[in-house]
Amino acid sequence: MERIIKVGIVQQKCVADIELNKQKLAANIKEVVEKGARLVVLQELHNSLYFCQVESVDNFGLAEPIPGPSTKFYGEIAAQYGIVLVTSLFERRAPGVYHNTAVVFEKDGSIAGKYRKMHIPDDPAYYEKFYFTPGDLGFNPIKTSLGVLGVQVCWDQWYPEGARIMALKGAEILIYPTAIGFESSDAKEEKQRQLNAWMTVQRGHAVANGLPVVAVNRVGLEPDPSKQTNGIQFWGNSFVVGPQGEFLAHAGDVEEENIVADVDLTRSENVRRWWPFLRDRRIDKYEDLLKRFAD
């Protein structure tokens, strides 16, 4: 028996006006719902510009508690349309303690669960360690009326360990709100290699775990407030793949796009029967994974 979820992905450009971003997101959510989406996924830190291009204490003012104003806003949207909604917020947990947090809403607008980003990058133009305390909720899937969601955030998508743990704990679909793009000085060939690597590693999570993967990225150029770089050209390319890494939906690299894809969760059962990777894992030989480096 097929168990198909219509998944809506919203690939959006962001501006400095938070309220404008939220209202545009509300309109884009409405559009994918009208196309049939029942599960809607938004990009990373969608309320604002990607503020981590610089280290500024003023940016902590963008954070808010959970629950808070944004959870009220998005919860009301989820309830209005009767959808499961995956959002990505800058959480103010306490003075001096902030997280990059994905919040999942149930169809009635209640909070089904949240996930705090575990892997925090610190690269040129991605100074996230300045802002975010590493997550402490672990890799725990969130149960919803549509299925069990293995939600992680951006930099987490490069790590097979998180995807595997989510799968082992019963996740039925892996979801990655994302904010990633090109540094303008990189050569065209290098940019293409980076983009291909980003898609390949996540398609690998799908194959290795026999699960669909949803990755939703922002798009457009966001200037560097410090003017030390030319800003980040977010590369879009949001996508949905099935449990063999097959593309079910794939957005472009320039424009905002609202896309709906059919995801058949019953395919995972068949794929795992054909390729029983979980059965054949040598769990008695993986102790080195708990070391920083096995030297």
Judge whether 44 counts as a catalytic residue: yes
Find the catalytic residue in 14, 44, 114, 172.
44
Closest CA to 44 of 128, 101, 97, 115: 101
- What DSSP designation does 71 have? H
| Catalytic residue from among 117, 128, 172, 222 | 117
117 belongs to the catalytic site? yes
The CA-atom distances, in angstroms, between 68 and each of 65, 86, 89 are: 5, 16, 10
Nearest alpha-carbon partner for 98 in 116, 82, 112: 116
Alpha helices in the chain (DSSP H): 18-34, 69-81, 160-168, 188-209, 267-274
Q: Which of 242, 211, 73, 64 is nearest to 149 (CA)?
A: 211
Residue type, 165: I
CA distances to 16, 44, 49, 119, 130 from 58, rounded to whole Å, are 14, 20, 14, 23, 12
- The single residue listed with the structure tokens 């995972």 is 268
Set 6, 91, 106, 154: catalytic member: 154
User: Within a 13 Å sphere around the CA of 99, how many CA atoms are in the beta-carbon half?
Assistant: 21
Which are the catalytic amino acids?
A: 44, 117, 154
